Amino acid sequence: MKHLIAPSLLSADFANLQRDVEMLNRSEADWLHIDIMDGVFVPNISFGFPVLQAIAKHAQKPLDVHLMIVEPDRYLGDFKKAGAAVITVHYEACTHLHRTIQAIKDLGCKAGVAINPHTPVSVLETILHDLDLVLIMSVNPGFGGQKFIENTYQKIKQVKELAKAVNPNLLIEVDGGVGMANIKQLVDAGANVLVAGNAVFAADSSEEMIKSLKNC
Ligand code: DX5
Ligand code: ZN
């Protein structure tokens, strides 16, 4: 499959969200990546349900919700109601990951698990066949515009290798520091969903940048 581009709204202009969502609707973006941060799991707070609902009202593409929060189970139903198509929780935030994944699927959403840069891929071995998506963090979560961590390529290859036998359709998403300098190499390594915040929204033309990332 051709890789998907998921621009992160974290880098959008929050005073002009409707304008930015409409730009993404017109663009070659595939999904809209929504970063939810609680100030506990990560050292930053982004936005919550009212903002997500405002985005959903205008978005014409699937909402890819990345939960950087503790106890995500408490809010899964609310995220579904707010318009999430994909819900990704952090491995590091879930004590009963299997239960959480089943709950996301029962809601009718695609289920993803994210791993921080220090978390080895091997921890996903026994849950991989239940997942729709693995999100490999290529920066430490909490902020947009950070420097890409190079060992990500290795981790993509490891996920791909593990998934080959048990879940060949698994989506492998990479999030953090993605741009024109590394996207081709990431796709070649096996990534098929690429998140880009700063690269898209700091570009002179965000629409042109999305096009370049899509057709790299
Ligand atoms: C970081 C977020 C990312 C972030 C990516 O915690 O999960 O989605 O917005 O932004 P860039 O592409 O600017 O690194
Ligand atoms: Zn994210």
Q: Domain extents for the chain?
A: 4-214
In CATH terms, the superfamily for domain 4-214 is Aldolase class I (3.20.20.70)
Contacts of 79 (CB under 8 A, 6+ apart): 36, 52, 65, 67, 87, 109
Residue 56: pLDDT band with limits 50, 70, 90: very high
Task: Please tell me whether the overall predicted TM-score, pTM, comes out greater than 0.95 for this model.
Answer: yes
State pLDDT tens for residues 143-164: 999 999 999 999 999 999 999 9
Residue 1: pLDDT band with limits 50, 70, 90: confident
Q: CA triplet 37, 40, 44: central angle to 5 degrees?
A: 45
The single-letter code of the amino acid at 163 is A
Catalytic positions are: 35, 175
Q: What is the pLDDT of residue 35?
A: 98
Q: What is the mean pLDDT of the chain?
A: 98
Pocket of ligand 1 contains residue 7 by CB under 6 Å = no
Ligand 2 mean position to 161 CA, how many Å?
Answer: 23
- The closest residue, in CA terms, to atom 4 on ligand 1 is 144
